[in-house]
Amino acid sequence: MIEMKNVSKWYGTFCVLNKCSTSVAKGEVVVVCGPSGSGKSTLIKCINGLEPFQEGSITFNDISVGDAKTNLSKLRSRIGMVFQNFELFPHISVIKNIMLGQEKVLGRTTEEAEKRGMELLHRVGLSEHAHKFPGQLSGGQQQRVAIARGLAMDPVAMLFDEPTSALDPEMINEVLDVMVELAKEGMTMMVVTHEMGFAKNVADRVIFMDEGRIEEDCTKEEFFSESRGERAQLFLSKILHH
Partner 1 sequence: MNYNWDWGVLVTAPYFGWIISGLGWTLAVAACAWLIAFTLGSIIGIMRTTDNPVARSIGAGYVEVFRNIPLLVQMFLWYFIFPELLPEAWGTWVKRGIPLPEFWTAVVCLGTYTASRVAEQVRAGINAISLGQKQAAMAIGLAPMQVYRYILLPVSYRTIIPPMTSEFLGIFKNSSLALTIGVLELTAQTRQIEEYTFQGFEAFTAATILYITVTFIVMTAMAVVEKKMAIPGMISLGAK
Where along the sequence are the contacts to partner 1 (CB under 8 A)?
45, 48, 50, 72-74, 76-81, 83-85, 87-91, 100-101, 104-106, 132-137, 146, 149-150, 153
Nearer to partner 1 by Cβ, of 88 and 121: the residue is: 88
CB of 52 to partner 1, least distance (A): 10
Q: Which of residues 37 and 197 has its CB atom nearest to partner 1 in the complex? A: 37
| Residue among 49, 55, 74, 76 nearest 7 (CA) | 55
Q: Give CA–CA dist 158/191, Å, rounded.
A: 8
Which residue lies nearer to partner 1 by CB, 121 or 199?
121
Of residues 209, 211, 198, the one with CA closest to residue 232: 209
For the CB of residue 42, give the shortest distance to partner 1 in the complex, in Å.
Answer: 12
Residue 151 CA, chain-centre distance (Å), reads: 12
Is residue 193 within 8 Å of residue 162, measured between CB atoms? Answer: yes
CA-closest candidate to residue 106, choices 74, 130, 80, 79: 74
How buried is residue 55: exposed, middle or buried, by Cβ count under 10 Å (0-12/13-18/19+)?
middle
8 Å CB contact between 235 and 211: no
Closest distance to partner 1 from the beta carbon of 12 (Å): 18
What residue type is assigned to position 198 of the chain?
A: F
Closer to partner 1 by CB, 10 or 133: give it: 133
Nearer to partner 1, 74 or 238 (CB): 74
Tell me how far, at minimum, the Cβ of 146 lies from partner 1, in Å. 8
Q: Least CB distance from residue 201 to partner 1, whole Å?
A: 26
